[in-house]
Structure 1
Amino acid sequence: MLPSASRMRRGEDFADAIRRGRRAGRPTLVVHFNAHEEAGGPPLVGFVVSKAVGGAVVRNRVKRRLRHLMRSRVESLPRGSLLVVRANPPAASARSEHLAAELDVALDRLLRRRGSGPRTPTDGRS
């Protein structure tokens, strides 16, 4: 799924991305992004899926789907950046195509604000 080196594990990284980063919200998810140009490591991606989304099985399914979607998008993030994807309750019943489209819109909005230019969709759509 998502490369091990790109998985966010420390609570400080989650807090840094959420508190100091910019965010883009969609009905099914909210993306928090904080770019650290001075850090040279790989981009770190974390996921937050609360109990409001559903029970443990539903939450784990949503996390797996989001990790799978981020696998092909992580290389478009700047090195050293922090990204947290927070699932909203509608993510539990959303189709994967819909989640992918909303994730692309949110990432595009955040990366364009940063000045990286427009992204091209990675799911084959024009």
Structure 2
Amino acid sequence: MERLQSHREFTMVMRSRRKVATQDIVAHFRVPPTEEDGVPSSFCRRLGLAVSKSVGNAVVRNSVKRRFRVLARRHEDMLPPRCDVVLRAKPSAATASFADLDVQVAHLFDSGWSAGSRMRALTHETRRHDGEQATS
């Protein structure tokens, strides 16, 4: 997975309003527009990490980020080929075991994408029906 780097990219994902939470992690998802909308086809999965000072000191925060990167890489196949994900650590993530975080990331990626695909399908259907009604 590539990384989200700019503040603008993070805020676009955080504003998408598609989020799923577990005990220690909150995941925000954004599926970008298709190539028809001007987004290059080389766009791929991108990951952003948000670990605030409430999680712990710098050593603890970096440890949590390393764990998140490994887990995201492990479960990235559960995501669509083109998506942005921001994983936000809750303070309890610092004391959670790797196995617990592994289960939570798998759940987040599975349920976040499932909800996202349903939402996108509903939006697409609504637009198509609205367009058909307008042309009638």
Residue of structure 2 equivalent to 1:103: 105
Partner SS, residue 53 of structure 2: coil
Q: Map Cα deviations across residues 2-47 of structure 1 (whole Å, 9 max, x no partner).
A: x4xx111111111011111400011101000000141431111010
Inter-partner Cα distance in structure 2 for 1:43 and 1:92? 25
Partner SS, residue 83 of structure 1: strand
CA contact (8 A) 1:17 1:83 kept: yes
Partner SS, residue 45 of structure 1: strand
CA contact (8 A) 2:78 2:109 kept: no
CA contact (8 A) 1:37 1:80 kept: no
Unpaired stretches in structure 1, ≥5 consecutive residues: 117-126
Residue of structure 1 equivalent to 2:48: 46
Partner SS, residue 55 of structure 2: coil
Inter-partner Cα distance in structure 1 for 2:76 and 2:46? 8
Inter-partner Cα distance in structure 2 for 1:72 and 1:104? 9
Residue of structure 2 equivalent to 1:23: 19
Partner SS, residue 113 of structure 1: helix
Q: What's the TM-score once normalised by structure 1's chain length? A: 0.82
| Alpha-carbon offset, residue 75 of structure 1 | 3.3
- The root-mean-square deviation of aligned C-alpha atoms, in Å, is 1.5
Partner SS, residue 85 of structure 1: strand
Inter-partner Cα distance in structure 1 for 2:17 and 2:106? 18
Inter-partner Cα distance in structure 2 for 1:26 and 1:76? 17
| Alignment-mate amino acid for residue 59 of structure 1 | R
Residue of structure 2 equivalent to 1:115: 117
Q: Percent identity?
A: 32
User: Which structure: greater helix fraction?
Assistant: 2
CA contact (8 A) 2:79 2:110 kept: no
Residue of structure 2 equivalent to 1:13: 9
Inter-partner Cα distance in structure 1 for 2:9 and 2:77? 19
Q: Map Cα deviations across residues 25-70 of structure 1 (whole Å, 9 max, x no partner).
A: 1110100000014143111101000000000000000000000111
Unpaired stretches in structure 2, ≥5 consecutive residues: 119-136
Residue among 94, 109, 113 paired with 2:96: 94
Moved over 3 A (4+): none
Residue of structure 2 equivalent to 1:77: 79
